[in-house]
Amino acid sequence: MQLPQFQVHAATEEKHWWFTARREIFLALLKDVLPPSNEHLLIDVGCGTGGNTAAFGREYRCMGIDPIPEAIAFAQEKFPQQEFRTGSAPDDAQEEAAQADAVLLLDVLEHVEDDTGLVRKLLSHVKPGAYLLMMAPADPSLWSPHDEGFEHFRRYDLESFRALWTNLSVEEKLVSYCNTRLYPVVKALRLLSRWTGRAWGPSDTDLAVPVAPLNALLHWVFAGEKRHLLRALHKKALPYKRGVSVLALLRIPVADNDIGKQSEETDLDS
C-alpha cells in the first residue's frame, strides 16, 4: 500500500460499512473464545491506520504493529491512547508474541509476497492455547482495479487459504467464507470495474462511503453474518461456501502434558 491508500483508510475506517461490519464480526468471534479482559493481550499485525487496534483495545489489551511508518503515524495521531509500533511481527515484537492470547492478521496476507512464511513464523512464536484470527480477500474472479490499487498479490479460495497452515499443529476452530450476502452485488460491481478499468472510490480503491442510509443498510447486512459464523464456530451450522472474503480462526493446541494436568485437575474437582 502507498500513502494515498493509507489516507483513504484513515479517512474511512471508522464509518465505512465494510470496516465497521467486519470489526463487529471479529469482536463477536473473539469474545466467544476469549472473554474480554485487560489480562488478555492481542497483537494486531499489519494494523495499518489503527482502527481495528483501537476497537479491540476497548475490550482487551491490544498492540498494533505495522512496517509502514506513515501508517503508524496516522494511527498514533488518531488514537493517542493506544499502543502502536513500527516494525514487523514477530521479529520486532518477539516478547509480546510469546505472551499474546490472540494474533490478528486482518486483510494483511494479500499484501505479503511470502504469506506462508509469515503465517508459519507467527505460529512458531505464539504460546500454546493462543488464537490466530485471519481474514483475506477471496475468489480470484473478483480481481479488479481495487486489488491493483492496494497492491494485492492474490485473492484466496479455501484450498489456497488452508495451504498456509497445512501440516502445522493447529486446531481449525472456524474456516469459512464471509461477506456472503453481498457477494452477488460485489461481483457485478467488480466485473464492471474490470471492464471500465477504474475502481469505484478514491485513490484506485472501492472505499467510497455511501450515503448514510445505504451505509447503515450495508453494515446491517454484512454484520448480520456474525450470527451464522458463531453457529458455524460451534458446529451448529455449515460455514459459508462462497464470499468476498475468507476467514479463519485457529488455535495452537496445548501440550499433551498440559492436557493431562488439566484432566487431573478436573477429576480432583469432581
Among 13-17, 22-26, 203-207, 241-245, where is mean pLDDT lowest? 203-207
Contact 74, 52 (CB under 8 A): no
Other Cβ atoms closer than 10 A to 184: 10
For residue 79, what is its C-alpha cell? 488514537
Position 41 scores a pLDDT of 97
Q: Is residue 8 scored above 90 in pLDDT?
A: no
Position 117 scores a pLDDT of 95
- All structural domains of the chain: 3-269 (3.40.50.150)
Q: What percent of the chain has pLDDT over 90?
A: 74
Summarize the confidence of residues 225-243 as an average pLDDT. 98
Question: Tell me: the pLDDT tens digits for 77-131?
Answer: 999 999 999 999 999 999 999 999 999 999 999 999 999 999 999 999 999 999 9
Q: Is residue 264 scored above 60 in pLDDT?
A: no
Residue 187 belongs to what H/E stretch? helix 183-196
Round to whole Å and give the CA distance between 135 and 243: 12
Helices 212-223, 225-233: inter-axial angle, 10-degree rounding: 10
Summarize the confidence of residues 235-243 as an average pLDDT. 97
- Which phi and psi (to 5°) does residue 120 adopt? -65, -35
Quickly state the pLDDT bin for 2 (edges 50, 70, 90).
low
Query: What's the angle, vertex CA 113, arms to CA 78 and CA 52, rounded to 5?
Result: 25
Position 104 scores a pLDDT of 97
Quickly state the pLDDT bin for 195 (edges 50, 70, 90).
confident
Residue 21 belongs to what H/E stretch? helix 17-33
Position 257 scores a pLDDT of 40
Q: What percent of the chain has pLDDT over 70?
A: 87
Question: Tell me: the pLDDT tens digits for 18-75?
Answer: 999 999 999 999 999 999 999 999 999 999 889 999 999 999 999 999 999 988 998 9
Residue of 89, 10, 107 lying closest to 43 (CA atoms): 89
pTM (two decimals): 0.89
Residue of 264, 268, 145, 157 lying closest to 206 (CA atoms): 145
Mean per-residue pLDDT of the chain: 88
For residue 17, what is its C-alpha cell? 460499512
Position 150 scores a pLDDT of 74
Bigger pLDDT: 37 or 208?
37
Quickly state the pLDDT bin for 203 (edges 50, 70, 90).
low
Q: Is residue 243 scored above 90 in pLDDT?
A: yes
For residue 268, what is its C-alpha cell? 480432583
